[in-house]
Structure formats: C-alpha cells, structure tokens
Amino acid sequence: MWNVEHLRLAIEAAGVTLWSWNVDTDELTMDSRAFDLWGLPRSHAVTFEDLSAHIHPADRDRVRAAFAATRAIVGPYEIDFRIMAGDDVRWISARGQGDDAGIVGRIMYGIFIDVTGRKQAEEGNELLAGEMSHRVKNLLAIAAGLTAITSRSTTSTVDMAAELTQRLTALGRAHDLVRPLPGDEGRAALLGDLLSVLLAPYDDMGAFSGRVRVSVPRMGVGEASATTLALVIHELATNSLKYGALSAETGTLDVSCAVPDNEVVIVWTERGGPLVTAPADAGGFGSKLVTRSMTHQLGGSIERQWHKDGVVVTIKIRKDRLAG
C-alpha cells in the first residue's frame, strides 16, 4: 500500500510542485519545491501579486486574467506562461480544477510544473517548419528564375532543356559540397570553390557569360560552417534572382573577400540590375534566418547597403568559426 513518503517521492520524481489558493485572501501556500521553481525565498505564504511580479511581462496580463477565470471553467484547466527566475526564463504550467471543484474551506488546489524543455522543443519544431517552408519556396523561386535566365541565352527548346538541366545539376553539386556523402564528413572545402559552385547556376552561360565573379583568398571552410554559409549565399542569390542584379540581363555580381586580423570579410556587390530601395521593414523570414545563422552559428554579422544601382552586402565571420 502507498504511504505518504511514497507519494512524496513520486511527486518529486515527476517534477510536480504543489500549491493551494485561498480565493478570499488571494494567498497561496506552496511546497518548498515550488518556491525553488519560482526562484523565491521560502515563506509560509505568498500572494498572487507576489508571484505576478516574477511572471514574464509579456505574459503577465494574460495569466492574471486566465487565473481569475479558472473558477468559472468547468473541468481541468492548464495555463502555460514564462517566469523570470533570476537570470533564467522558465516555462511554467499551472494546472488545477475549475468551477470550484474540490474547493475546501474557500481553498482550491493545484500544481505547478516546469515545462521549459517541452516549450523549447515546440519552438524548435516551429522554427524548423518555418525554415523548411521557406527553403521550399526558395527552391521554387530559384527554379523559376533559372528558367528565365536560360530562356534568354538559348534559341531552341533542345538547347534550353540542356542548359537548364546543367544549371539544376550545378545546384545538386552545391548541395553535395555542403552535405557530403557518408565517409567524406569532416573534409574542409575551399572558400573559393564553395562560392563558385554555389553561384555557378546563376551565371549566364550563353548571352552574358562571366557576369558572376568570385575573387577570394585560398582558405578552408569547415563542414558545419560551409552548411551555414551556403544557406546565406543561397538566400542572397535567391533575392538577387527575384529582385536584384541577377534578375536583369545586364546585371553583374562580384564576390570578394579580405582577411583583416581574426575576421573574414566577404563583400557581395550587385550592379546593373533594377533600381533598388531599402525595405521599409526588418525583412521577412529569410532575412531573419540569415541574420540568426550569421550571429549564432558563425559568430559574425551581415549588413546591407542599398544603393540605387545595386545592393552591397558585407558578411563578417570569425576566422576560427569559418574553419570549424
């Protein structure tokens, strides 16, 4: 038969903390683990307002309204919100029974549980889904743009089919370069080869060959960095193909590189395309994805300068991160 000690151990193993709420005085009594969860000094009781001060500002009003409404909810309820525990941000789930079910002497009961891991996993899945959706849209845009480029430089359907196949095959080679086959992992690529292979499909092979120029010093790029850099280059090329220099017959793209001190600086310069203006907002998912990749994975930055005759993008990467 279960005893009190067994139940206590089961609750601790599940990461559950206990609370009771006096609906008249608004006081909560919590077990010691709940105080630790909230990052509060242990005391006999706290008020809901005391806890509210530690709820994330973005969630505070929502939680107050939801908690006040729980007495009218029929059946179990669950409220997820963030709290500030020192320098940490944690996700907490408050759970109990609504409609005054189980109320004893004006006191209701429930639990807090730390759901930070689950919320982080959910956010990661949402980000991955958004990234995959964005990449699929980019691939469709790339295919449409490459078809338009190929149509300008060929005079027959046979030539167009052959050249378009060549461009799409080049995209496949770029993918293989940054996603090596089993057994080839860990092999560094050269920065110049990586950029040339990634940008080869966008060069007009017939009408205006050589409009994409790459000039960089000889240096290696690690597998992880190559994948991240490829994502950035694909995003810039896709935008150029849709709106910039690569969308025009006379447009050119120059990619150069310098290595001052412990930093690698890649400059992406577009000329001869449509007139460009700086966007009114911070950009869409792709721009945010590129910025996040540069800062978090390469320890660098990306800056855009919007000139009338074309955009200039400056990519800065920590030298040690590029080789990693």
81, 131: one domain: no
Residue 99: how many CA atoms within 13 Å on its side-chain side?
5
- How far, in Å, CA of 55 to CA of 53, rounded? 6
126, 259: one domain: yes
What is the structure's pLDDT at 268? 95
- How far, in Å, CA of 179 to CA of 143, rounded? 20
76, 139: one domain: no
Query: Which run of H or of E encompasses 208?
Result: none
Q: Which two tokens stand for residue 270?
A: 């577009």
At 162, phi and psi to the nearest 5?
A: -65, -45
CATH label of the domain that carries residue 198? 3.30.565.10
Query: Which run of H or of E encompasses 146?
Result: helix 116-153
What is the structure's pLDDT at 209? 61
Cβ neighbours, 10 Å, residue 244: 23
Strands 76-85 and 46-47: unpaired
Q: Hey, which bits of the chain come out as E strands?
A: 16-22, 27-30, 46-47, 76-85, 88-97, 107-114, 189-190, 212-215, 220-221, 252-258, 263-271, 301-307, 310-318
Listed residues 84, 114, 144: the one ending a domain: 114
In contact, 164 and 151? CB cutoff 8 Å? no
Q: Using DSSP, state whether 39 is helix, strand or coil.
A: coil
142, 291: one domain: yes
Listed residues 114, 146, 177: the one ending a domain: 114
Which residues, in sequence order, are CB contacts of 28 under 8 Å at separation 6+? 19, 20, 21, 22, 45, 46, 47, 48, 51
pLDDT along the chain (324 residues), means of 10: 66 77 82 85 80 87 81 79 84 81 76 85 74 66 68 72 70 59 55 85 61 88 78 81 84 91 91 82 64 79 87 90 76
Residue 60's domain comprises 4-114
Q: Cα dihedral sign for 31, 32, 35, 41?
A: positive
28, 133: one domain: no
193, 292: one domain: yes
204, 313: one domain: yes
Listed residues 81, 98, 114: the one ending a domain: 114
What is the structure's pLDDT at 181? 45
Q: CA 207, 208, 212, 218: dihedral to nearest 10 degrees?
A: 100
CATH label of the domain that carries residue 81? 3.30.450.20
- DSSP conformational letter for 95: E
What is the structure's pLDDT at 167? 66
Strands 212-215 and 252-258: parallel
Count of domains observed in the chain: 2
In contact, 62 and 52? CB cutoff 8 Å? no
18, 163: one domain: no
What is the structure's pLDDT at 253? 93
- How far, in Å, CA of 160 to CA of 273, rounded? 23
300, 168: one domain: yes
